[in-house]
Chains A and B, each alone.
Chain A
């Protein structure tokens, strides 16, 4: 005989069992492979339909992408492009989650700094054959193509390069004129101007240094630029802790607090650019991308100039490579044919020119690089000339190392702050950095075997 209590207990048990089974089934289903993993399952498709495009620098570049997408859709009525702007700071984690969990787009913007990591996970389609059989063959800047290949591990082109940025020294022409200073075209002139433009009592500074997020690449740029060392590697050993580099970094870090605000120790690019745009600082090292911010904040382009990094006294210019932006085709795409059409269109002369004019960057399409707007945009023109005049020496940073992002950010940015604050010597900082890089390089070579 069943009592109501025992019936109720039985019901509860049944309900618990059903719930538990459902949860387990869902969990097992979630852990299983649905066939759409990042490294496979893709198809060429018919060349029509809707494709998804993730912009790795969403927001600020949304408008220009919409124009390009509209033009593309007019030319290809059978293809619809769904644009998704991803915040630049979060794009790496968005890609990583989608690679692990599914849901990658057909086409995505992939910067050089994250290319190695994404390519190493097998998520991107090699594009060499598609490029050679398309209208882009011979139209892509060979230096940028080489850099993209190198960033992806050296064997394949995993993205079609679209643009390059360049380290730029922005300086206030009005302040320089008032102080009777020459343009900071060489390192000695740069240091001279930094000192002469500083008047701490009046809250005026000659330079603003990047001490927060993104500080390592900028410090390396200043370091190699002054030491004149032109290669990142000497065999399998990083040259970052070469005595010449140590001396150069010591000199550069010596600017902190003497000719820069003390708050610079926490400067990421946003704070640094905002600080410079407020009008009390003579010089700023950033890339071409902040041009529009300066124009807006300083009320036009008359009060400032952007020139490539200073040269050594003998005119030699050495600078570190900048990551090349590009468009990648994801292996899991079910519409690779349509996706490739979009990439080909976006990297073509007209679209590439339009995008780079809006961003103030250097086009990867060689025809776009000859367009009239570049001559009118002095900072971009000077950067393009510097990169193509054959005199510049580029120190290729190891973007191909999957650990590069970790080493150049989380692992060493706090140490650089210690160097600025005098709690660590430049030599110790660079020795640590070199050790980590040497290890990462050895590991990468081992994996490649």
Chain B
């Protein structure tokens, strides 16, 4: 442990004992700055960030034709319109299916692949890792036609499965790299100890490693969910059936070539944003821990 290896205090150090440590110095500097100098710029920045959100709420909640800057009288007409007339109930359901399925598939495959990358040495591992990184530079649009043809051959066009597969494939490289980083952080000796106690590799992984990967799994899973939830291109291209489309495509249909229903668009935007906000609200602690540990040690 670091404390055991730390050198004994020297005379010089003893002489400087009266000086505050870096943490104390930071604390004092913080105390010396007037609060308003910290909170005023932050509040202005926050206000600047929140104004667009307020604008969306305003358009979604005020009646058509109103130019009021306060959403009063409040109306739910736009929400009702997009949910029922514009089929957002169906789009929402499809987006949930796509998002959850992409989350599960990405996490599962990334976990297996990440374990292999972290724990095994095999020929071509470095080029493979390089390939994974390089695949991030290929935009999805470039692969649309070949993907479309493959899905057509597999009879998966107009099926949410095609979108889930495409999303998973595009999410996997980054997710695998991240998960591999998390697994490397779990000492190998823990697994070895479990094997000595009679566990199989799989059981040791499930009982010892997996619980320690929780922040990483949450980070990767939420990333996959949010990406699939917001992604427009694959859903637009692979789903040519009204009852199969997802929220991002539905949102785009609220803007025609020469007319746009701003109230409906704002209401649709809120419907699209709420699940993501809720998910992030619940997992933000894990997300930050997860991304930082995976990214730094990966």
Contacts and interface: CB of A to CB of B under 8 A. Distances in A.
A60 B240 contact: no
Which has the most chain B C-beta neighbours within 10 Å: A86, A98, A101? A101
A287 interface: yes
Interface string A280-315: 000000111110110011111000000000000000
Contacts of B67: 278-279, 297
A83 interface: yes
Nearest to B241: A84
Given A30-B149, A278-B67, A293-B260, A103 B240 contact: yes
Contacts of B149: 30-31, 101-102
Given A59-B254, A97-B148, A102-B148, A85 B242 contact: yes
Interface stretch (A243-251, A257-265, A269-277): A269-277
**Interface size grouping (class) on chain A:** 35 or more
B256 A30 contact: no
A59 B258 contact: no
B108 to A, nearest CB: 18
Contacts of B261: 60, 293, 296
A100 B145 contact: yes
A300 B65 CA distance: 8
**Interface size grouping (class) on chain B:** 20 to 34
A174 B261 CA distance: 24
Interface in A215-242: none
Interface string B235-251: 01100111000000110
A268 B85 CA distance: 27
Given A59-B86, A101-B148, A101-B152, A290 B259 contact: yes
A111 interface: yes
Contacts of A86: 236, 253
Contact of B240 (A54, A63, A270, A293): A54
Nearest to B87: A62
Interface stretch (A87-95, A135-143, A340-348, A423-431): A87-95
A278 B67 CA distance: 7
A140 to B, nearest CB: 22
A192 to B, nearest CB: 27
Nearest to A280: B67
Given A94-B236, A94-B237, A103-B240, A87 B255 contact: yes
A82 interface: yes
A117 to B, nearest CB: 16
A97 B150 CA distance: 13
A61 B257 CA distance: 10
A93 B184 CA distance: 43
A273 B86 CA distance: 22
Nearest to B59: A274
A61 B236 contact: no
A377 interface: no
A103 B65 contact: no
Interface string A12-51: 0000000000000011011100100000000000000000
A56 B261 CA distance: 17
A59 B85 CA distance: 10
B85 A61 contact: no
Contact of A88 (B146, B250, B256): B256
Contacts of B263: 296
A13 to B, nearest CB: 12
Given A58-B253, A84-B242, A278-B67, A97 B259 contact: no
A89 B258 contact: no
A105 interface: yes
Which has the most chain B C-beta neighbours within 10 Å: A52, A59, A105? A59
Given A101-B145, A101-B152, A61 B256 contact: yes
A30 B255 contact: no
A88 B242 CA distance: 15
A297 B258 contact: no
A97 B237 contact: yes
A288 B258 CA distance: 8
Contact of A290 (B148, B153, B240, B258): B258
A57 interface: yes
A165 interface: yes
B157 interface: yes
B136 interface: no
B64 interface: yes
Interface string B5-34: 000000000000000000000000000000
Interface in B137-177: 144-146, 148-150, 152-153, 157
B252 interface: yes
B64 A111 contact: no
Which has the most chain B C-beta neighbours within 10 Å: A61, A286, A292, A296? A296
Interface of A: 26-27, 29-31, 34, 52, 54, 56-63, 82-90, 93-94, 97-98, 100-103, 105, 111, 165, 269-270, 273-274, 278-279, 286-290, 292-293, 296-300
> Considering the complex of A and B, which 10 residue pairs feature the smallest CB-CB distances, nearest first?
A289-B258, A59-B253, A87-B252, A101-B148, A60-B256, A88-B257, A30-B149, A299-B65, A30-B150, A296-B64
Given A30-B153, A59-B254, 7 more contacts: A29-B150, A31-B146, A60-B260, A61-B256, A101-B148, A103-B152, A111-B257
